Structure 1
Amino acid sequence: MKLKPLLIMMTAFCGWTAASASAARPEVTVAEGRLAGVTEAALHIFKGIPYALPPVGERRWKIPEPPASWQGVRDAGAFGPACVQPPMPQASVYFDPPAAMDEDCLTLNVWAPEKAEKAPVIVWIHGGALQRGHTSSPLYDGANLARKGVVFVSLNYRLGVLGWMAHPDLSAESQDGISGNYGLTDQIRALEWVRDNIVAFGGDPANVTVMGESAGALSVTYLLSSPKARGLFHKAIVESANIRAVPNLKEAAHGMPSGEAIGVAVMKGVGAESLSALRELDATAITLASMKARFVPQGTAGGHGLPAQVVDIFDEGAQARVPLLIGFNSGEIRSQRIFVPKAPETAADYEAEIRARYGDLADAFLKGYPADDIANSMLATVRDAVYGWASEHLAHKQSAAGQPAYLYLFDHCDAVAAARDLCAFHASELPFVFGQAGAGGTVPPNWPRPEGSEDEALSAAMMEYWVTFAKTGVPSSPGHDAWRPYGDDEAFMRFDGVPVAGRNPVPGMFEMQEELVSRRRAAGQQWFINVGVIAEKVPEKHP
């Protein structure tokens, strides 16, 4: 008589639930089996769905494979663990530790309106320097966006050395003779899963928008550049991207060793004598040891999924031809001051440094970043070198490729952020995009909480722009300025107290940075953070 309840308890304890126990929960059938989610305020929510086999053991540093099938009904009521990552300093504004982490982490989550049918899909890729981050952060809750009529998907992907290392032995064992970018291949696998399964949740696989911020935005530029991702998405949202040079797989370039050489140094640094020995080491130990060995997770040009430098692919017009929404924040570097060098003591010293380094570009530089406000000029210098130029360059190239590109500048600051000198800091637009600004919103514990009525109104407007872009390819918000595509007049939208359409977000910046980066590229130099009072001497312009 008591056998059936006992069996139900046993299967639930193992992470599964019997069909009879999940009758009151929303269920869907995907390629691998049946899932039971939860219902919250007219949404069906499914969490911790595997989209690939666990990348453990011999599958560590391999292209992901589709997940295994299961019997019965799988419980999809809780997030899966975050991918392995180092701890974040507790004092950081970005401190938001995951509840659990594991190398078996390739899962995704879906928020869908109860009666969704052929709804547009947004696939979210989190930030964190390709080293940290997780979809279980309350900041990335997809409910508010889903309530506006989209199916929202978020995914975990491999981080740090486990997700981004190249190595000659990994290249040798690959069918294509290449390695690196495993986190990118995870993202592509997740998009394949969405293509094959999102109809079950009411989503339209022919209307998918990829969206990311910071390292997630960088990932979206990789996806735009990747032939392997072609056709898996139809629009892109890029928040605070950079398009720095990354290591080439086989050869040294742009002042960096090759990706494979970096992998060799990492293996030596962690004390492993072979690839098999490296695969036997604990994932957390490898992650921490690789940081001590100064491994920087980033894409590898010529590695899996990324055939060349992003900037070269866009210059050739070989990127995905899809509508683009892209932008940056006015105070990006206020939370990233580690990138800002020590300031010269006087205005005269500042100007002398700039003139010695920038030559014939010094006048244009000093006009944009004047010596009479050194502190703010140095913040703006790094902001534009990393984020501002990248955003406008990609908008310009996508427009030249015949696709609409919508550029924005997030310039909002409330009293709480101002008191901490964090006006419009890096990622500060996220609570507004996810509907977490205003009373009742949830942000990480050290975040300056935007909670005024003006914050809430701005959030509502931004969400409308983002969602209508995902639906139609044209961002709009009732009662607010029309957002014109970027073109020869450098049209953009400024998000401050209210959205305001304008032209030329940072006058003179794009033109000066275009010339600067062009010269550095021609000379084989790195252009990422190679700016300001510590910059290499700018090469002369050749006739």
Structure 2
Amino acid sequence: MKLIILVAALLLSHAPAAVAAAPICTTTTSLGTVAGRVAGGLCVYRGIRYADAPRSQPPVPAKPWHGTFQATDTSAVCPQFRDSISEEYPDDRPVYLDEDCLRLNVWAPRTPGRHPVIVFIHGGAARFGTAGEPRYDGSGLARDAVVVTINYRLGLLGANNLFLRDQITALDWVRDHIGSFGGDAGNVTAMGESEGAFSLSAMLATDHPQRLFRRVVLQSGSGYLVHSKPQQHVDLTGMSTLQVLQRQEELVGTQPLTGAVYFGPHVDGDLVRQPVIDAVEAGNARGVDVLIGSNRDEIAYFAQFDPSIAHLTPEQYRVFFPAELNLDKVAAAYPDGPGKSLEMLTDQTMRVPATRLAQAQARWARSYLYQFDWGPAVHTAELPFVFGTLSFTGIAGGAEAFHANPGAARALSAGMRHAWTSFARTGDPGWPQYRQGRATRIWDTPSRLAFAPREAERAAWDDYDFRFFQ
């Protein structure tokens, strides 16, 4: 008997130690208890349902649940075909078909107090992307704020401003429940990039946008890219999710520039009542601080989908140019060279509309302008720096530029994150407001402050009202 006990003791002494369970953190909302995971000094909650998405109907806010919701799921992706170039997915499926996808993620500091809140709306031409992409990890911003990223319906499933209603429902959820995560519901900054910025711009033309957020960050997108009318109506009755996606791609076609703006918010007279610039000029968003900007070479991004875009001729550009403007007169303000048409199209779609919105809102609240000039400086290139993930998916030449001087790039990221969180906390990102001589923060290595940069090119567009993109 003693021998058996001795052997058992020896075996136990050499047994591997039990693996400690990952630490959890919990909070209780009015809907129920939520359990997340501890990550450093943060509590991270993933895959929280904020609404249901009945086909072709407005979202239905989530109902209370029993027990504890385990918020650890990173797999929710709204229906889409895989875009292997510019998105980061949770697995390698070629297509995602689950319409039950209205989920959000929360990164919350574990320190006590009421923290400012940043809600991020991802881009992706309203056809691609998901809130759970690693490049949108909120950890780098959540040291100074509660960070939320959201999914919303895409393409035909989100048409007729349904995707905009999804986003608004998510912002309503934040207002009602973010206090349970340590967030200050009275100090919400909504941040969007590309399609996310188009969407937030459209919200500035809804009734009382102040109910949704105190501040807004618009990265590479403005109200100019909010459509004047809805896209072609398609009856989805009886169609499978896969058939919906196939029909969607038939409608969009293969041209990457037009495909990037085919879907999106539109003025419907109900939710979005008028053109965004008209609403902003009239003070519809009074009191909402705005931080808006663009990247130096936005349109060059699309050359990875169609290399001919890198050599866009003036005649090819004319298809996108406003019919009521004199192309030769506008073009005369730009230096001649092989990239002239791309530079003009970047100014037309992104930079100059951003200056118009900053100028219009300056009468009603604080407004600030930036331009991102680092490295390739194409569309989406600022995202790795704002989140601090330094993930260059979809940014041709981005990784190479980073490795050429990683220390400077990391310092640039730290500076941008400090500016964004400072803006979320106080409404001041750290440079003068746009109304002070068209002040513009140029993000680069090193960064600098400029007043009225490239003024001749900006002024060349003065005869155009920028209400709607052609």
TM-score, normalising length: structure 2: 0.84
Aligned partner of 1:289 in structure 2 is 247
Aligned partner of 1:18 in structure 2 is none
Aligned partner of 1:96 in structure 2 is 88
The Cα of 1:398 is off from its aligned counterpart by 0.5
One-letter identity of the residue aligned with 1:387: M
Aligned partner of 1:480 in structure 2 is none
Aligned partner of 2:134 in structure 1 is 138
Query: Is the CA contact 2:294–2:351 (under 8 Å) kept in the aligned structure 1?
Result: yes
SS at match of 1:191: helix
Check if 1:409 corresponds to 2:371: yes
SS at match of 2:118: strand
Aligned partner of 2:289 in structure 1 is 323
SS at match of 1:395: helix
SS at match of 2:76: coil
The Cα of 1:34 is off from its aligned counterpart by 0.8
Distance 1:246 1:395, change over 3 A: closer
SS at match of 1:238: strand
One-letter identity of the residue aligned with 1:394: L
Cα deviation digits, residues 479-511 of structure 1 (max 9, x gap):
xxxx10001511111111022111012212332
**Structure with the larger helix share:** 1
The Cα of 1:136 is off from its aligned counterpart by 1.4
Aligned-partner Cα distance in 2 for 1:24–1:458: 33
SS at match of 2:462: helix
Aligned partner of 1:252 in structure 2 is none
Distance 1:182 1:358, change over 3 A: closer
Query: Is the CA contact 1:198–1:204 (under 8 Å) kept in the aligned structure 2?
Result: yes
Check if 1:31 corresponds to 2:30: yes
Query: Is the CA contact 1:340–1:382 (under 8 Å) kept in the aligned structure 2?
Result: no
Cα deviation digits, residues 208-251 of structure 1 (max 9, x gap):
00001100111110122221643221001110004336555xxx
Aligned partner of 2:237 in structure 1 is 279
The Cα of 1:316 is off from its aligned counterpart by 2.7
Check if 1:160 corresponds to 2:160: no
Check if 1:259 corresponds to 2:259: no
Query: Is the CA contact 2:77–2:151 (under 8 Å) kept in the aligned structure 1?
Result: yes
- Structure 2 residues without counterparts, runs of 5 or longer: 1-19, 254-261
Query: Is the CA contact 2:153–2:163 (under 8 Å) kept in the aligned structure 1?
Result: yes
Check if 1:484 corresponds to 2:455: no
Query: Is the CA contact 1:314–1:394 (under 8 Å) kept in the aligned structure 2?
Result: yes
Of 416, 429, 441, which residue of structure 2 is paired with 1:475? 429
Distance 1:224 1:22, change over 3 A: farther
Moved more, 71-80 or 207-216: 71-80
How does 1:21-420 map onto structure 2 within 5 Å? 24-53=23-52, 55=53, 59-88=54-83, 90=84, 92=85, 94-99=86-91, 101=96, 102-147=98-143, 149-164=144-159, 180-227=160-207, 229-244=209-224, 246-248=226-228, 258-259=229-230, 262-263=232-233, 266-267=234-235, 278-294=236-252, 296-302=262-268, 305-337=271-303, 342-343=312-313, 359=326, 362-363=328-329, 365-370=330-335, 372-373=336-337, 375-400=338-363, 402-413=364-375
SS at match of 2:458: helix
SS at match of 2:408: helix
Cα deviation digits, residues 410-459 of structure 1 (max 9, x gap):
0111xxxxxxxxx101010111111123xxxx443775322411100111
Of 396, 411, 416, which residue of structure 2 is paired with 1:457? 411
Cα deviation digits, residues 293-334 of structure 1 (max 9, x gap):
338212121265211222322233323531111100001111
One-letter identity of the residue aligned with 1:316: A
Check if 1:432 corresponds to 2:398: no
Distance 1:357 1:317, change over 3 A: closer
Distance 1:292 1:445, change over 3 A: closer
SS at match of 1:293: helix
Query: Is the CA contact 1:86–1:288 (under 8 Å) kept in the aligned structure 2?
Result: no
One-letter identity of the residue aligned with 1:343: T
One-letter identity of the residue aligned with 1:433: V
Of 464, 467, 470, which residue of structure 2 is paired with 1:516? 464
Of 438, 446, 457, which residue of structure 2 is paired with 1:498? 446
Aligned-partner Cα distance in 1 for 2:76–2:22: 26
Distance 1:41 1:23, change over 3 A: closer
One-letter identity of the residue aligned with 2:370: Y
Distance 1:318 1:118, change over 3 A: same
- Structure 1 residues without counterparts, runs of 5 or longer: 1-20, 165-179, 249-257, 268-277, 414-422, 477-482, 522-526, 531-543
Distance 1:22 1:284, change over 3 A: farther
SS at match of 1:516: coil
SS at match of 1:122: strand
Query: Is the CA contact 1:330–1:410 (under 8 Å) kept in the aligned structure 2?
Result: yes
Distance 1:341 1:199, change over 3 A: same
The Cα of 1:30 is off from its aligned counterpart by 1.5
Aligned-partner Cα distance in 2 for 1:505–1:305: 36
Query: Is the CA contact 1:121–1:207 (under 8 Å) kept in the aligned structure 2?
Result: yes
Aligned partner of 2:10 in structure 1 is none
Query: Is the CA contact 1:80–1:105 (under 8 Å) kept in the aligned structure 2?
Result: no
Distance 1:387 1:445, change over 3 A: closer
The Cα of 1:63 is off from its aligned counterpart by 1.6
The Cα of 1:96 is off from its aligned counterpart by 2.8
Query: Is the CA contact 1:411–1:495 (under 8 Å) kept in the aligned structure 2?
Result: yes
Aligned-partner Cα distance in 2 for 1:303–1:34: 39
One-letter identity of the residue aligned with 1:366: A
One-letter identity of the residue aligned with 1:424: A
Distance 1:24 1:491, change over 3 A: closer
One-letter identity of the residue aligned with 2:441: M
Aligned partner of 1:416 in structure 2 is none
SS at match of 1:154: strand
The Cα of 1:23 is off from its aligned counterpart by 10
Aligned-partner Cα distance in 2 for 1:22–1:304: 50
Aligned-partner Cα distance in 2 for 1:499–1:67: 44
SS at match of 2:460: helix
Cα deviation digits, residues 164-186 of structure 1 (max 9, x gap):
2xxxxxxxxxxxxxxx2011111
